[in-house]
Amino acid sequence: MIRAIAFDWGGIFTEGTFDSSAVVALAEAGGMDVADLEAAYYAAMIPFEEGAFGLAGLQQRLEEAGLRLDADTFARTFLGAVRERSAMYDVLQAIPEQYTVGMLSNNVPTLCDTVRDDPRMTRIERFVFSNEIRVRKPDPRAFAALEAALGVPAAETVFIDDAERNVTAARAYGLQVIHLTDMRAFAEAWRDLLPDVPLPHHLP
């Protein structure tokens, strides 16, 4: 019996990962080639998502790679890099009240506050962010933190993620898993695991 549903954020509520959009946006704003920035960006993401530093710390590390932006432009560009997958907000809002709903996301200070404060996220009852628990997926401790936050056994929870390594780790932990690769496959997997939870009519 499924009693809880939990979502990743980037790649689920966004088209593509947030990072893939953010590094392109920052490079363009700074007049750099993406190739000259992305190694430093992705290296900085690990400690950033583990809560080692905030947005200013990220900017400092990217300045060392040659990015030159003032703090306001940097913050606006980084936080505005989202390309939303609007259909998933409709999915979220259609979940009946008898299900506990949560989120487990590798996320960063400031951005996780933006996600948590989004009025479209009010259906989510428990947010678990890597920078706050100091551990990232696919570490099993991240899934343990989600299980504890939801108060529902892993075997009775469906988790939706877009990254194969996280899907594999979540399944190994004992969660029921939907790997979102495209909306048609997602809808088919959802109906298989959650036949009594209606999807919005506009989905495939």
pLDDT in tens, 59-108: 999 999 999 999 999 999 999 998 899 999 999 999 999 999 999 999 99
For the chain, how far is it from start to end, CA to CA, in angstroms? 25
Contacts with 49 (C-beta within 8 Å, 6 or more apart), sequence order? 106, 107, 108, 130, 131, 136
Q: Phi/psi of residue 149, each to 5°?
A: -65, -40
Per domain, the residue ranges of the chain are 4-16+83-193, 18-79
pTM for this structure?
0.91
Give the pLDDT confidence score for residue 16 in this predicted structure. Answer: 84
Q: List the beta bridge partners of residue 7.
A: 103, 160
Q: Regarding the domain with residue range 4-16+83-193, which homologous superfamily does it belong to in the CATH classification?
A: HAD superfamily/HAD-like (3.40.50.1000)
**Number of Cα atoms under 13 Å in the Cβ half of residue 76:** 7
| pLDDT mean across residues, the chain | 96
- Segment 123-153, tens digit of pLDDT: 999 999 999 999 999 999 999 999 999 999 9
Give the pLDDT confidence score for residue 201 in this predicted structure. Answer: 87
- In terms of pLDDT, which residue wins out, 202 or 127? 127
What order of strands is seen across the sheet that includes strand 126-129?
126-129, 100-105, 4-7, 157-161, 176-179
Q: List the beta bridge partners of residue 176.
A: 158
- Segment 107-118, tens digit of pLDDT: 998 899 999 999
